[in-house]
Structure 1
Amino acid sequence: MKLTWKGAVVVAAVAGLLTGCSNPGAPAESTGEVTWPAQSTKLDGTTLTVWAAASSTKTADSVIAGFEKATGAKVNVVTIPDPYEQGVQTKVATGDKPDLAFWQPTSSQLTALNAAQNLQPLTNAPWLSNYKDNLADITGQVNGTRYAALFSAPAVQGVYYNKDVFAKAGITKTPKNWEEFIAAARQIKDKGTTPFFDFAGGGSSWATQWWVQVQLADAAKAGLWDRVNTGKEKFTDSTIQTAVNNYNNLIKDGLFNSNIKTATFEDQGKALLAGDAAMVVQINGFAEQLQQRADTATLNKKIGFFPISPTGNVATVIPDQGNALVAFKTGDSNREAAARQFLAYWLGDGYSGFVKAQGAVSIEKGVDTPSSVPDALTAAVAAVPTAVGSMQASAIANPDLYINLGDMIQGTKTPQQVTEATQQQFAGLAKAQGAAGF
């Protein structure tokens, strides 16, 4: 499941990476023409190293097998222990680089790797015209230069719900805005079922932040993150603070599972599928957990999806490390070209086989989505073209909002302390980048 990113970047690692920006000996960013070898160019004797998170170690298996057969190259996948993003940043800051790596294709996370210095630009990539909708523009770039190859749909934050529980409560239509969403929850509670399920147990609370971020969709569309990025608005100001307060109040009102302090991600999937809870706010990786618990026919019968925002059904997009690859500047021009060739193969001749092997929604024209993909996941992906950016997608740095919200659930932070801690960390990360306003 593509859930290893946790949103934060390590201040020390980022500072080290960004310091490299001022190195007069650092290679200049190349934004001109990039050559793309033919997908089947022979590469006998060439070995490529790919860094992957534990959850992504097997993702490229079908692609690697086909690429090795077509080219004679060898591709080794090396698993970087969780927390993946922090481990990669620390290694890169010390000069340790792979040829390719799974990476969150957001501007903030590409900046965290100092893309201009460390990553190959993927200018004029041959697969870009094959993307559906606006996926070529939605993510993967910094300052107009592409550095990430998107191979699966970016995740979106939205609501997975149990159709049987809705029917039992007499709810025949999915909510069309936040007010209807909460009204449906209270109606479900009155019928004796837990409306919402979330978790802050097992030392993990990463999903808590989705509850805040979906409430910020309208504000994000109106430029919230641009204001936060320039110091004109803070996490402690009313927009984000109100979203945190609302989440806390819903928990206090008893609309969540009573074991929220100890529950885990696995518990969440079990509860929704069993009808012990009606709804969860989650991302695409949650559908993948459900796929491990039930067949497609069962999921289509029981589980649905709808995006939610304060005034409508706008999804919040959050690309993660399981969506894209980056290619590093290693100083070996032959391996760098081979890395680009691997990307071209994955998004070219190898893409149809990849989609089938992974049971993924296709993001390319002319490549069909397998029938094994559940309707809920297809609906989530369909929400991407009109989605707004999440904190991870649109902020220049990603503080540990989820950890602070987990502390709030455990009773060790107030809602005000959540935003204060988050703002303090964000400001430090922004200052390390040299961002104006900090």
Structure 2
Amino acid sequence: MVKTFSKVLVGSTALALILAGCGNNSDSGTATSSAAPAGTAAATTAPKKDVTFSVIYATGDPATKQAVADAIAAYTKANPNVKIKDLSETTTAAYLDFLKTKDAVGEFPDLVEMRDTQLFADAGKLAELPKDLQGLFESVPQVNGKVYNAPISLPAPQGIIYSKKAYADAGITEEPKTYADFIAAQEKLKAKGISPIVVGGKDIFHWGFWVNKFLIDEVFVSDADWNSKRSEGKVSFTDAGPAKAMQLMTDLFTKGYVDKGYMSTADNQTASMLVTGKAASLFSGPWMFPTIAQADPKFDFGWYPVPDQKGGVNVVGLAQPAGWSLSANAAKDADKTAAISDFIKFFFSKEQYPKYLKIASAIPSTKEKMNYEASPQLQEVLTMMADPNVKKSLQINNFWGANQIPPQFRNWFYKSVQDWLVKGDFSADYLKKADAEWDTEVKAMKK
């Protein structure tokens, strides 16, 4: 049967070792770490003046959205002189497009959860993170030689979140060791008359999960500089690696393993489809664990990474420049900057941050030890991340510097994938069009 782990208290030092591919986990106990820099206590000194600043954060999954909203509410309650104007909206559009729209109408926020740091830093929209805030974290990658982000959490991998009952009923008694084993399991589920996998294809960001799973397996774990080589014309989407990645994805969707309603299913509907038995699994990250548990506290589910063709495990997991960022305009206002800095210190304090981590089932990014209760499913994730044989990568759109992709390409490519899956006519022509779109955008960026 699928293995389970007891609940544990995890600390950020242990997790840092996990993400570095070393160290070990214990079924009980608390890790220790060095003392945090000054200023991390929740009882910070807020500016005495009345201050208002705006904020935008991604609202893709309900648990993380709620965790951020709770932190904002807690801060404003403790600091009534500070008003935080939440500009975030629930939308099916890509988060990047949402931010661009806000910028175009003059509503670029003072504080923003930034995921495309290179793009907005190059456009002069971001200010360097204050030095005292930089010291709160183990490591934050630089962009253009500067630190722009307070990482809300460390990158978390995607994997199969599955109904243990559905798997048992289908005769699946152990986790797949190879991709062939994974497909065999989907065949057993399909034979039982249940949709093996639900996909929230109505939301454009959800497409990144499966697209990047196969690109990481077939491209990025072998060549982390593939993006820069594509921009230089040295590699192509028609090459063996990316072509195989997209063929594998096409086969997954067209051979009956994915629920047929994927284009009309939103990401926030996937949990209910899982717990109600309409699908046996979904492919997502640990941020979905609290949502599933809330949907049905008695629902018994597990998690495992999808292996590649040779049985290797390759996942998202490298540090990236993403997190809370201060806008360049806000940085011109001393009072506003002080209030934002105070909020960030509050967010990452040992009194407040564990609440966010628990609700979002997230991995802490701070130097200071953060204790919170990890579910058995999250412990599965941490155990996998501790395995030195697991290879970690970034998603195609999370690289920066020379490996930054053209700003419109990600959404264009995801929509292209949708097009060929719906039409059922995948061919090398789509990959040639991907090269052409990439080249066109690169030329436009140089003008």
TM tier, shorter chain?
Answer: 0.7 to 0.9
Change (3 A) 1:382 1:428: farther
Change (3 A) 1:270 1:417: farther
C-alpha separation between the residues in 1 aligned to 2:348 and 2:45?
13
C-alpha separation between the residues in 2 aligned to 1:41 and 1:319?
31
Cα offset, 1:343, TM superposition: 1.7
What is residue 121 of structure 2 aligned with on the other side?
A: 114
Alignment of 1:306-345 (within 5 A): 306-311=305-310, 312-317=312-317, 324-330=323-329, 331-345=332-346
Cα offset, 1:80, TM superposition: 5.0
C-alpha separation between the residues in 2 aligned to 1:346 and 1:255?
41
1:368 pairs with 366, 371, 389, which one?
371
2:446 pairs with 431, 434, 438, which one?
434
C-alpha separation between the residues in 2 aligned to 1:126 and 1:147?
10
C-alpha separation between the residues in 1 aligned to 2:240 and 2:212?
14
Cα offset, 1:345, TM superposition: 2.5
Cα offset, 1:81, TM superposition: 6.5
What is residue 60 of structure 1 aligned with on the other side?
A: 68
Change (3 A) 1:130 1:77: same
Alignment of 1:185-204 (within 5 A): 185-200=186-201, 203-204=202-203
| Deviating more after overlay: 413-422 vs 155-164 | 413-422
Q: Which has the higher contact order (CA 8 A, sep 6+)?
A: 2
C-alpha separation between the residues in 2 aligned to 1:167 and 1:357?
29
CA contact (8 A) 1:212 1:240 kept: no
Cα offset, 1:431, TM superposition: 3.1
SS at match of 2:372: coil
C-alpha separation between the residues in 2 aligned to 1:266 and 1:155?
18
C-alpha separation between the residues in 2 aligned to 1:339 and 1:274?
42
What is residue 390 of structure 1 aligned with on the other side?
A: 395
Cα offset, 1:193, TM superposition: 4.0
Q: Say whether 1:102 aligns with 2:113.
A: yes
Q: Say whether 1:410 aligns with 2:411.
A: no
SS at match of 1:355: helix
Q: Say whether 1:303 aligns with 2:310.
A: no
Same amino acid, percent of matched pairs:
19
CA contact (8 A) 2:40 2:349 kept: no
CA contact (8 A) 1:36 1:340 kept: no
| Deviating more after overlay: 344-353 vs 165-174 | 344-353
What is residue 215 of structure 2 aligned with on the other side?
A: 216
* Cα RMSD after superposing both structures: 3.7
What is residue 32 of structure 1 aligned with on the other side?
A: none
CA contact (8 A) 1:309 1:315 kept: no
Cα offset, 1:77, TM superposition: 1.8
What is residue 419 of structure 1 aligned with on the other side?
A: 431
Query: TM-score, normalized by length of structure 2?
Result: 0.72
CA contact (8 A) 2:126 2:328 kept: yes
C-alpha separation between the residues in 1 aligned to 2:132 and 2:296?
38
**AA at the equivalent of 2:84:** V
2:52 pairs with 38, 47, 58, which one?
47
CA contact (8 A) 1:199 1:264 kept: yes
C-alpha separation between the residues in 2 aligned to 1:293 and 1:335?
39
SS at match of 1:179: helix
Cα offset, 1:243, TM superposition: 1.4
CA contact (8 A) 2:305 2:313 kept: yes
Instruction: Give unmatched runs, 5+ long, in structure 2.
Output: 1-37
What is residue 32 of structure 2 aligned with on the other side?
A: none
Cα offset, 1:407, TM superposition: 1.4
Alignment of 1:238-249 (within 5 A): 238-249=240-251
Change (3 A) 1:332 1:97: farther
Aligned length, in residue pairs: 383
C-alpha separation between the residues in 1 aligned to 2:39 and 2:436?
43
Cα offset, 1:315, TM superposition: 1.4
C-alpha separation between the residues in 1 aligned to 2:301 and 2:207?
24
Deviations 1:133-178 (A, max 9, x none): xxx24xx642342211112343422222222222233333212332
Alignment of 1:24-173 (within 5 A): 39-53=44-58, 58-68=66-76, 69-70=78-79, 72-80=81-89, 82=91, 83=93, 84-92=95-103, 96-104=107-115, 109-115=116-122, 117-122=124-129, 124-126=131-133, 128=135, 130-131=137-138, 136-137=139-140, 141-173=142-174
CA contact (8 A) 1:147 1:327 kept: yes
C-alpha separation between the residues in 2 aligned to 1:290 and 1:335?
38
Query: TM-score, normalized by length of structure 1?
Result: 0.73
Instruction: Give unmatched runs, 5+ long, in structure 1.
Output: 1-34
Deviations 1:98-157 (A, max 9, x none): 3211222xxxx11221357221212644465555xxxx24xx642342211112343422
**AA at the equivalent of 1:273:** V
| Deviating more after overlay: 240-249 vs 152-161 | 152-161
